[in-house]
Chain A
Amino acid sequence: MAQSQTEDLTLSSAWSGGASPYAMVSKKLGMWLFIVSDSLTFSALLVAYSYVRVANQDWPKPFEWASILGASIMTFCLLSSSLTMVMAVAAAQRLERKKAVVWLLATVLGGLLFILLHAREWIGLIHEGVTPFANPWGVPLFGAAFFTLTGLHMTHVTVGVLYLVVIAWGFGSARFKPEDVEVSGLYWHFVDLVWMFIFPMVYLLSAKTVA
């Protein structure tokens, strides 16, 4: 509206309306807010985990170095996928669609590797007799907390992989804008960040100590 653009307003900061502060598109702000609320959910679960862990003296510490190594490799996959995500967003912003799609698919690959390794670990643990209500080493809650936390996280990674595939397809075919890639990047980095809490709290703190 031409008239209102020339309007002299006493308040003319970004907060005075008519323009979004941070010049942020609503989708991006929406994703940030989703991340805030989802991180509250994860925080609550991590607090719950810490609470029951502290409350039980016989909390098991079963992870041998091989498990820790496995989890470290998983961590490596996720971290690398964050890096490729950064590249994807950068390429998208330069409107190099082909490159962006390749980087996105590399990110998807990192996520898939993580899921595969994680599934392998789960199956191994289940074979050792770890379930949500029992395990060979101590308090049954160990399994419950482990599967709940990593399970919810893995669900997020899986959703993320699907999300990125859709974005790669849509951006490659020029249906989506660079912002859409960026917004999906926010989600992906957040999922990685959550893992950076789970890895030390669930794995490293439960590494087998040599008695």
Chain B
Amino acid sequence: MTPAPLGQLLGALRARLDAVRGVVGNRQVTDGGTVQRTTSDLRFVAGLALGLYVLFLVLSLLGGFQSAEAVTSRLQSVTLLALVYVMLTLALNLQWGYAGLLNLGVAGFAAVGVYTMALLSLPADGLGLGLPLPVGILGGFLAATLLGALAALPAIRLRADYLAIVTLAFSEIIRLLIRSQPASEFTIAGQRLGTGGTDSLDLPPNPVKSLLYENPDQGAFVAVENPTVIGDRLFTAGEAVGFGPSLVERVVYAVLMLAVALLFYWLLVRVGNSPFGRVLKAIREDELVASSLGKDTRRFKIIAFAVGCGLMALTGMLWQMEGGGSTAPTTFEPELTFFVFVALILGGSGSNTGSVVGGIVFVAVLLEAPSFIQRIVDTQFGVPSAPETLFDAFTGVDPFLGYFLSDTNISALRFIVLGAVLVYLMHNRPEGIFGGRTEIASPIDLSDRSGTEGDES
């Protein structure tokens, strides 16, 4: 994969985008018609998603997926990951895109959410306190919010770079703490608790499991014998199209995730189109101006940062509880934070719709497409192996390509593509796909002047 087709894709997206905006050129300003814009933005995103589904369908077929179940299963995992990135990117956009707060601890705050929830809601005879899942989720959210505020507090009054360093360090400390021997299992007041250390930790059954099974915590094989009324209906429907119960469960979960992602978007668009969002933007542009106009910039920064961290935690929990429902510290390496930043920059920092598009495009094109392509190569050219000799490597073109796309190299390839995309973006569209568009921070149309000449109300 070279930057050229990607460039074309971006070009096409941009053209479509301008059509959505109804403008030509970079720096056009849309009016404050928030509802209208949101609708057309959502339509654009839906179109993009549809296009990508068609693309991935074709790629799956080329890659030799045999059944509808297999294809759907694969597309579900792409969808879920895309939604996870959309949500993380939206949260980061509140911090970095709006308020200019450089949070290099995205992974850490997600981890705080996941592990706090686990400690609170895992069974009391296991490693948790046995509290109900909603309490666990709320606890995870609040823990990340609070830690976000605490981590930011000393740094937030200093320059942006300090916050970056503090959050990066925080994120790594959290991850190492989770991995550490003492944290893996400990006892407080007779209660056994733990993070599972470097091993993966099974999480409480997710809400969709509770919706579909009478006894969601008895393991998949037992649970499936005892569906709820809703579960029964859905499983029967799934059977009709050849989907097993576990796939039905995952599809329902993806729908739930979509609903939460829409909620994130709704929330953050509202924040953005408000006087609160206006102050955040002012802080990003020039904090001294904002404070010279009487805005308590520290309050705004702490709230934006804490809320963003809470949303990251929520995303992390929903992500890790899906499917088999287990988590591990390796999920929360700094790489995750880096990826979310790439998604945000790709989509256009400062734009909520841009964050959504960035998350989707990043996952589809950069994270998932390479493995689809690898699979196609596998099926077309047989099982790849490393060339035996240098001579082989150069004469046998196909095995070489196969080797290049083998499992071990796919992540390396990913990074190469990523680098190419970043360089391309920096040169050609530094503001990202949706960046450079001024989304006016107000709930009303500020260009409306009707009140001025008219009578007083």
Are A and B associated in one complex?
no
- Interface set of A (CB-CB < 8 Å, partner B): none
- Interface set of B (CB-CB < 8 Å, partner A): none
